Homo-oligomer: A and B are copies of this chain.
Amino acid sequence: MVEHDVHQQTYSLVKLVVLVCLLFLSACISVEARIRHYQWEVNDEYKSPDCYKKPSIIINGKTPGPTIVDQQGVTTVVEVKNSLFTESLAIHWHGIRQIGTPWADGTEGITQCPVVPADTFIYKFVVDRPGTYLYHAHYGMQRQAGLQGMIKVLVPNGVVEPFSYDHDRNILLTDWYHKSTYEQATGLASLPFVWVGEPQSILIHGRGRFNCSAPSTDATLCNATHPQCTPYTMTVVPGKTYRLRIGSLTALAALSFEIEGHNMTVIEADGHYVEPFVVQNLFIYSGETYSVLIKADQDPTRNYWASTKVVSRNSTTPNGLGIFNYYPNHPRRRPPTIPPVGPRWDDVAPRVDQSVAIKSHKDYIHVPPQTSDRVIVMLNTQNRVNGFMRWSVNNVSFNMPHTPYLIALKHNLLHTFEQTAPPDNYDHENYDIFNVAKNVNATTSNSIYRLKFNTTVDIILQNANTINPNNSETHPWHLHGHDFWVLGYGNGKFNQSIDPKNYNLENPIMKNTIPVHPYGWTALRFRADNPGAWAFHCHIESHFFMGMGVVFEEGIEKVGKLPTSIMGCGESKRFHRP
């Protein structure tokens, strides 16, 4: 199936390229080459993205790192040199399915060994679908130290998208902590547990503003006039329409984003065209991307606020503010209005409404298989394991093994992880999702779900009460190596005999990241058709660090020869021969 699709796609593309070449000969040079090289160096460096100076992990001097912009079908080669002091690293290409290149997924412990300091690792993969994607560290908690950025895959020349716009812009939304990720990780792994707390700032494409006059702020570290914390500005020409690609790679926060006084038409989600709908504010969860159209159709004599706020948590983090600048007003000119306050943090209904509103564009429907071969229900719970605070799926908290699964599976090193399969369900009859569990203890395991190749799998993500009374959080789950169909959302406990009847099997959107709302469930379906080992996890970095994830294996026997560059750790040392 996959190979067939790829061939067909490639064939169509070749036809197209030939056609375009005939029309515009000069435009074809870069397309003909179909390989793009990037050279990146990753360093530790002080940055002041919200005016507060903090050691950050940067790419080529910047965080967010450079935006990768390639046309569909281009082979993207990223040479990453690790110039960190003592830390290894791995970079995940979030939303790129890595068909035929599962070893390039960049997930430490799953698809590769971490890249040690002074080494250069070469990621090579095809950006096979147009759309908006992300990249970020996938080792320890390095993502929130700044090692992240965006990927923009353009349609081939001549291909028309189901909407039109004048300009293409992109912003990455992140939250930012002043404590080091080391300190955070130490706290999460401590007894007594030390929670990371709420972020100090929300950054719009790497720019925020901490209040340097706040009590007990170290004045030697906070500089309100630092050029790195001038507000993000998006300059628009009156009357023009903008495609704004918005990605979120927050460590923790669910966000709402809006441009004061401007509607946004949602047109793309995680690389798939959406049946357009209009919002005033967009809810976006860590790991998601959206494209929206914004027309600069308001009073052109002034600027407007771009504003983003934390939702789903009673957060102390101030809203992130940028400037939507109508040319030729001065880009720093403060809008004359009070910034929008945004939606209430604890109003779940509009967030669920938006989730439900996202359907596939009618001309781009991938019809899902109408039945599935396996249903895995995944109860999301906060637990204790030997006193330590953890997150679990069906009461199993995930631990990373020392030998990456992809290598262990391919080279038959099955003793490197636990072979008893994790459970496909929980005690559905007796578990009360609305209250703190009677027994909050869980176990840990590094066992994985092995999926029959080319089967259809349903996942029901079931939310529940946390370890604290009257609290259920929002978890954005991200699947590597696949997109899934979003079949439905519901409130309360999923009922296997009733709820599937209401699945949207007609025009569901495909995504790679999806929220599970408080006390609710989310149902997904995907085809296990991409040979490899793939992570599926909560995209809140501290939650994954605390065990909130699983790994799927499928078609491992179809995976080609692994490059030795991914080896060198655990039992894969013996295979390492670069």
Contacts and interface: CB of A to CB of B under 8 A. Distances in A.
Contact of A569 (B118, B139, B402): B118
A142 B117 CA distance: 15
A569 B87 contact: no
A574 interface: yes
B402 A139 contact: no
B45 A86 contact: no
B85 A86 contact: no
Interface string A177-194: 000101101110110001
6 contacts: A86-B114, A87-B88, A114-B117, A119-B569, A568-B568, A573-B578
B577 A55 contact: no
A216 interface: yes
A374 interface: no
Nearest to A216: B216
A570 interface: yes
A218 interface: yes
Contacts of A117: 88, 114
B88 A116 contact: yes
Contacts of A86: 87-89, 114, 139-140, 142
A85 B570 contact: no
A187 B55 CA distance: 8
Nearest to A142: B86
A332 interface: no
A380 to B, nearest CB: 24
A44 B88 contact: no
A576 interface: yes
Contact of A44 (B182, B568, B576, B577): B182
Given A140-B85, A568-B568, A55 B573 contact: no
Copies of this chain, count: 2
Given A86-B88, A86-B140, A216-B218, 14 more contacts: A45-B186, A45-B189, A45-B190, A46-B186, A55-B183, A85-B185, A114-B116, A114-B117, A116-B569, A119-B570, A182-B182, A568-B573, A573-B576, A573-B578
A152 to B, nearest CB: 29
Nearest to A45: B186
Contacts of A118: 402, 569-570
Contacts of A183: 55, 180
Contact of A568 (B114, B140, B194, B576): B576
Nearest to A186: B55
A140 B117 CA distance: 11
Interface in A531-578: 568-570, 573-574, 576-578
B569 A574 contact: no
Contacts of A114: 86, 116-117
Contacts of A578: 573-574
A578 B216 CA distance: 52
Which of the listed residues A89, A189, A570 has the most CB atoms from chain B within 10 Å of its own CB?
Answer: A189
B189 A44 contact: yes
Interface residues of A, number: 39
Contacts of A113: 116
Interface of A: 44-46, 55, 85-89, 113-114, 116-119, 139-142, 180, 182-183, 185-187, 189-190, 194, 216, 218, 402, 568-570, 573-574, 576-578
A517 B44 CA distance: 34
A95 B248 CA distance: 52
A402 to B, nearest CB: 4
Which of the listed residues A55, A139, A570 has the most CB atoms from chain B within 10 Å of its own CB?
Answer: A55
Which of the listed residues A183, A194, A218, A569 has the most CB atoms from chain B within 10 Å of its own CB?
Answer: A183
A79 to B, nearest CB: 15
A190 B47 CA distance: 11
A183 B181 CA distance: 11
A113 B86 CA distance: 12
A110 to B, nearest CB: 14
A218 B402 CA distance: 37
A243 B139 CA distance: 48
Contacts of A185: 44, 85
4 closest cross-chain pairs (CB), A and B: A86-B140, A55-B186, A118-B402, A86-B87
A484 to B, nearest CB: 30
Contacts of A85: 140-141, 182, 185-186, 189
Contacts of A189: 44-45, 85
A190 B46 contact: yes
A573 B114 CA distance: 14
Contacts of A139: 86
Contacts of A218: 216
A440 B119 CA distance: 32
Given A55-B186, A114-B86, A574 B577 contact: yes
A90 B576 CA distance: 21
Contacts of A402: 118-119
Contacts of A89: 86
A469 to B, nearest CB: 25
A98 to B, nearest CB: 23
B44 A186 contact: yes
Contacts of A216: 216, 218
Nearest to A218: B216
Contacts of A44: 182, 185-186, 189
A299 to B, nearest CB: 43
